[in-house]
Amino acid sequence: MERTAQLQSNYRETIFTLTRAAEYRDDTTGSHVARVSYYVEAFAEHLALDNDYIEQMFYCQPHA
Q: Whole domain around residue 34: which residue ranges? A: 2-60
The more confident residue out of 62 and 47 is 47
Query: Closest Cα partner for 62 from 33, 40, 42?
Result: 33
How many domains is the chain built from? 1
Reply yes or no on whether the pLDDT at 51 is more than 80: yes
DSSP the chain: -HHHHHHHHHHHHHHHHHHHHHHHH-HHHHHHHHHHHHHHHHHHHHTT--HHHHHHHHHHS---
Band of residue 61 on the pLDDT scale cut at 50, 70, 90: low
Band of residue 64 on the pLDDT scale cut at 50, 70, 90: very low
The more confident residue out of 47 and 14 is 47
